[in-house]
Amino acid sequence: MFAWLGGFVTRRAWWVIAVWVVAAVVLIAVAPSLSSVSSSQTNVVPASYESAQAQAIALFTFPERAAATSVFVVKRVDGGALSAADHEQVQALAAALSAAAIPKVAGAFTSPMTAAPDGTAELVTVFFAGTGTGRALQDAVDPLRDTASAFLAGTGLEAGLTGPVAIQADTSDTIAATAKIVAIATVVLIVVLLGLVFRSPLAALLPIAVIGLVYLLSTAVVALLAQGGVFRVDPQLGPLLIVVLFGIGTDYILFLLFRYRERLRAGDESRPAMVASLARVGQAIASSGLVVMSALAVLFLCRLEFFRTIAPTQLVAVGLMLLAALTLVPAVVGLIGPNLFWPSKRWRTARPSRLWTALAGQIARRPGWMALAAGGLLAALSVGALFMHFSYDLTAALPSDTESARATEQLEASFPAGALSPTYMYVAARQPLGEEALTRFSDAIAQVSEVVVAGVPALTADGTAASFTVNLTVPPVSSEALDVVDHLKEVVHQAAGAGEQVRVGGQSMVSADMRAAARRDYLVVLPVGAAVILVILGLLLRSVVAPWYLLAGVWLGFGATLGTSVIFLQGILGEAGVFYFVTMVTYVFVAAVGSDYNILLTSRLQEERAAGASPRDAAAWAVQRTAPTVAAAGLILAGTFASIMLANVTLLTQIGFTVMIGILLVALVMATVFVPSIAALIHGRRRKAAPRPATPAY
């Protein structure tokens, strides 16, 4: 099949190129911008979870508590305590914000009760006309800040706006501003590394041109599908889309170019060399793309919306990149021919690499020891994963130099932890709630030692619904707080009588539900993803044994990745924990890409065995000829993910670092040492070392 495809695209090269270019031009012309159709998630957890149901009750009974809010933290410029005149000025600020007629702003409120215990700050709560943190609400953030800044000018006071809507607006703006930096850094990195690999400017720029075209086409397709309501695009996924497409696209192109160069060295003309190359590595590239896309598709099984939004955009991008690697790249390279490697002449003759030759020899002679060394290293690093703490504090992902981050810091310094993020308990009944019911629920809440009821419960006009405000005595998004609200939920549910519906809401409950949903998603996605990868490897390799040790290598690489990240992020940087979605993103890309490298190397190993080499010789030859490709691809892909760290968003920084480490481990340890050593050990019967070829491929 791939030999036929190679023959077709090289014979009709100009037609293939024209189809791609015309499709890109037409779709880009009619598609909206990706940013214009991006939207933040409206529900953090599904509607079946406690916090979502609590918000639904609040919408009908206490809409002011269900509405989206943000808060101004007002303090003196000199850091001193607020005077009576300052408090009056804060009251006037709230009135001015309410009267400003800013779209989507319902009003603003403050009172003496919102002053900090130490007297250094006072809060002005802004109520929005809507729920969630969507783009329409975010657009009100800048006018609010401008109004407050103008009103307080010359008063000796300053106000910083924070809260869910302001945080999301600042995060979106930061990501949009740094997406271009990430793109530039990614392109520069790829050009430099490919230039070092091929010693040719054309070979370095060709992947950028091809992937750039695919990127523009991908964003156009994604934007059109999002505009049509097929799926939602999260604004935080922009930098991730760039690095995934450029990183994986470079991998696929490298797989093809390395084999093409090998065939040219063997004496083939350009077109036959490309046909033979696609015939050999086309299946590996297609299988690699299928593994990545299958791993992404498994995310549709998740309950958390953030996980599900990763899948469709990346599926479109990876699918188009796979198609381009099998059609557009062979067509372009077939036209350019050996001039692709100009002006370097090193491509004409293979030069032995002492590193890969020595490694291949060791694997052939001592596969058991090499497998033990590589596997032992990965297993040792995996131990760190046992000490991983998950973070569900979305405010910790704030860019440190934003107004919302500075205002949040002031909040935490001036107010008690529990007062910053109250927990609400809602009771809805068929009949008016009497004093007995209110007392019963108050007594139930009092059974939980880590909470304090703030004020008296609020009742609706008809008395059929009540709201209790509860302050936690522990930080509201800590692991302890999540355990507390889970316990509170159980206690108040048990206190409910016939015809009474009780739900607990607030940020702590949202985080607790996120934790429960994430645990469920991991229990479903990880084993299903592993099963899918196992099946694909089995079908590709037509083997019963090989897929199992390849999958074992993938899991070892995944565990070592998490362990190393814990050592660095928690142990060295001192971060409180790893964001819960980092592990899922890491699994998808490290496991899938690790399988890519395994597929490439194992396919070459099987090819050498089919040519008559013994299992140990075949493993050695596969390492000597394929490990340079895997190493180069791994370094480039790791570098592209590292560029996400420039986004200055803690979430993206953790994703970038963790995936970077994972790619390096699976490329340089798992795929090039552990897997071929295990293959030689399991399948090997002869102890003969691999001979050093007279004209090695690399």
Assess if residue 182 is contained within a domain.
no
CATH number at residue 491: 3.30.70.360
Does residue 49 form part of some domain? no
Strands across the sheet containing 121-128: 105-109, 121-128, 69-76, 157-162
21 falls within a domain: no
Which is it for strands 390-391 and 578-579: parallel, antiparallel or unpaired? parallel
Tens of pLDDT, residues 447-459: 888 888 777 888 9
Q: Quick check: is 104 in a domain? A: yes
Q: Report the C-alpha gap between 387 and 348 in whole angstroms.
A: 51
β-bridge mates for residue 159, sequence order: 74
Higher-pLDDT residue of 436 and 688 is 436
Assess contact for 35 and 219: CB atoms under 8 A. Answer: no
For residue 686, the model assigns a pLDDT of: 42
Q: How confident is the model at residue 380 (pLDDT cuts 50, 70, 90)?
A: very high
Q: What's the rounded mean pLDDT across residues 247-253?
A: 86
532: its two tokens: 């899918």
The answer to whether residues 242 and 188 touch, using CB atoms and an 8 Å cutoff, is no
Strands 390-391 and 157-162: unpaired
> Do residues 307 and 586 lie in contact, with contact meaning Cβ atoms separated by under 8 Å?
no
Quote the pLDDT of residue 325.
92
Is residue 277 a part of any domain in this protein?
Answer: no
Decide if 91 is inside a domain: yes
Q: What pLDDT is stored for residue 566 in this prediction?
A: 93
Tally the domains of the chain: 2
Give the residue, 533 or 353, on which the prediction is more confident: 533
**What pLDDT, on the 0 to 100 scale, is given for residue 41?**
58
Is 459 inside any structural domain? yes
Residue ending a domain, choose from 99, 134, 168 = 168
Separation of CA 584 from chain center: 8
Q: Quick one: 400 exposed, middle or buried, by C-beta within 10 A (0-12, 13-18, 19+)?
A: exposed
Tell me: pLDDT of 650 over 90: no
Per DSSP, the three-state class of 33 is coil
Domain extent for 77: 62-168
Q: Looking at residue 455, what is its pLDDT? A: 72
| Residue corresponding to tokens 């490709």 | 629
Give the pLDDT score at 39.
Answer: 64
Q: Give 682: exposed, middle or buried? Use CB within 10 Å, 0-12, 13-18, 19+.
A: middle
User: What is the overall mean pLDDT for the chain?
Assistant: 84
Bridge-based pairing state of the strands 451-453 and 157-162: unpaired
**Banded pLDDT at 20 (limits 50, 70, 90):** very high
**End-to-end CA separation in angstroms for the chain:** 28
Confidence bin at 683 (pLDDT 50/70/90)? low
State residue 286's pLDDT score: 87
By the 8 A CB rule, do 522 and 582 touch? no
CATH number assigned to the domain comprising residue 159:
3.30.70.1320
Domain boundary (107, 134, 168) is at 168
- What pLDDT shows up at residue 237? 67
* Structure confidence at residue 419 as a pLDDT band (50, 70, 90): low
Residue 506 forms beta bridges with which residues?
A: 423
| pLDDT of 492 strictly over 90 | yes
Q: What are phi and psi of 128, to 5 degrees?
A: -100, 155
Categorize the per-residue pLDDT at 664 as very low, low, confident or very high, splitting at 50, 70 and 90.
very high
Q: What are phi and psi of 501, to 5 degrees?
A: -110, 125
Query: What pLDDT is stored for residue 582 in this prediction?
Result: 87
Report which of 336, 230, 193, 263 is spatially closest to residue 636, judged by C-alpha positions.
193
Least confident among 88-92, 570-574, 607-611, 685-689: 685-689
Identify whether 240 is part of a domain. no
Task: Give percent above pLDDT 70 in the chain.
Answer: 92
Last residue of a domain, one of 446, 477, 512: 512
Per-residue pLDDT at 612 exceeds 90: no
Better-scored residue on pLDDT, 625 or 668: 668
